[in-house]
Amino acid sequence: MRAEPLDAEAIVSATEEVLRRHGPDKATVVDVARLLGVSHGSVYRHFPSKAALREAVTRRWLDRVREDLAAAAGDPATAPADRLRGLLVTVFAAKWAKARQDPELFATFQVLAAEHSAVSSAHIAFLLDRIRAVVVDGIADGAFAGGDPEVIARAVLNATSRFHDPRHVAEWGSPEVEAESEGVISLIVDGIRAR
């Protein structure tokens, strides 16, 4: 049995480890408790259900994706079209890398995305917000055609679902995925530019 006090962070780390070993379907709270050397009651005191634990793991995992994207909105001195392109390339690359490096945690994220969980919705809102910021700057700058930045940002995110939505993970291993994403990015950037 462990001596140090059990905190939420340690439970989330142990759950990540259990998910990596067993996958989202088979991992249980008992596995997490066993890895930590505590009773499952101790885990339940921090997280009332397996679902809550899964949400906490995905939230921390998406926080890391978010850090990868922190710099991706780019230098405001860069042309808005290049910033939009850079942002999309970075979002796709981050998702593809996570899916490849951590397939079991990615599968957990897929489960939550399919359930439209709060964690998954917050991640979509974060991506929309980054895209919207570039669109607002591009319209102000005159580089982008006018329009409602909210509607445009949503259209950009929807038009690129194939490259960031976890439902498409099976295609991300294809040798063509990068060229295909380039084709869609070019179409979008051309669609958004001022005429």
* Residue 193: HSE in the Cβ half-sphere, 13 Å Cα cutoff: 13
**Number of amino acids touching a copy of itself (CB under 8 A):** 27
- Distance (Å, whole) CA 37 – CA 172: 38
* Residue 89: HSE in the Cβ half-sphere, 13 Å Cα cutoff: 15
Residue 175, φ and ψ in degrees, nearest 5: -65, -15
> By C-beta, is 133 or 184 nearer to a copy of itself?
184
188 near a copy of itself, rule: CB under 8 A: yes
Site map (CB under 8 A) of a copy of itself, residues 118-157, x = contact? ---------------------------x-----xx-xxx-
- Distance (Å, whole) CA 61 – CA 125: 16
Residues between 151 and 180 that touch a copy of itself (CB under 8 A)? 151-152, 154-156, 158-162, 165, 167-168, 170, 180
Residues forming contacts to a copy of itself in the complex (CB under 8 A) are 114, 145, 151-152, 154-156, 158-162, 165, 167-168, 170, 180, 183-184, 186-192, 195
